[in-house]
Amino acid sequence: MAIETERADRTLIVRINRPEALNALDVDSMRALNEALREFRDDPELLVGVVTGTGDRAFCTGADLKRTLPPRTSFAQSYFAPYEQSVDDGLYVRAITLSELNIGKPLIAAVNGHALGGGAEIALDCDLRIAGESATFGLPEARWASVPAVGGVSKLLRAVPRAVAMKMILTGERIGAEEAHRIGLVSDLVPDGDLLPAALDLADRIAANGPLAVKSLKALAERTQDLPLTQSVAVEQLLWGVLRDTEDRVEGRTAFAERRPPAYRGR
């Protein structure tokens, strides 16, 4: 299978499994990745997702260039066609845009090897990125006379200093894991063999917190990043009020007073 999933307690591991193609995605595997993440989104038992690649050479190298050649239909025909038809007709980038899935739970990219093009964009779509020492990151589309099409430019500009992002975008050159960690593109840098255990440990630490609070924090991060400070604070106060009377918030305070781990239920 091009996309494999595995449950690890309250975490779902989503593994891109096309190592013979450096985990590049054709249209079928893009659809399968979307389906796996929709199932994660809708399963109340799963609290955190980890996206990674099979093998040690690549996380994901984006669209499979050999299997995503231009179609016979015009772009206008594809653009205005229904979703499934537009993907079949060559607008396959719609099937790789994870942000449109509206996943309210945290996603962690465990980047093993190359994260290039659409693969880098998948990593940028995740809330957290950790990298093995052999990881590389790049948006090489300019080298193939194209541009990133699923938010790579805007998301990279938000993730790292502008000058660094522009150099990566305009040259198409990749950076290594140490540089990615230095500029803040990834939060953690670990030995390759420790990558998945480190991602699962991070997922467990997130899953131990109040589920409604975690979802609220992700929503705050996404919805307030472009707002003026006064509006951001107003949204924070509103979500604080939403959580104030929940069972979990009471349980958190009770557990603290009783010096025991809280037992959150997402209520």
Active site annotation includes 121: yes
Plot region of 216 (φ>0 → left; ψ -120 to 50 → alpha; else → beta): alpha
Candidates 141, 173, 236, 247; catalytic one: 141
Candidates 100, 121, 247, 258; catalytic one: 121
Q: How would you list the strands of the sheet with 175-176, edge to edge?
A: 58-60, 114-116, 136-138, 175-176
How many CA atoms are closer than 13 Å to the CA of 179, on its beta-carbon side?
12
CA distances from 94 to 52, 63, 151 (A): 20, 12, 11
Instruction: Give the three-class secondary structure for 58.
Output: strand
The answer to whether residues 218 and 104 touch, using CB atoms and an 8 Å cutoff, is yes
> Nearest Cα to 155, choosing from 143, 142, 173, 137?
137
Active site annotation includes 45: no
Q: Which residue has the tokens 């010096």?
A: 259
- Relative to beta strand 175-176, strand 136-138 is antiparallel
Just list the catalytic residues.
121, 141
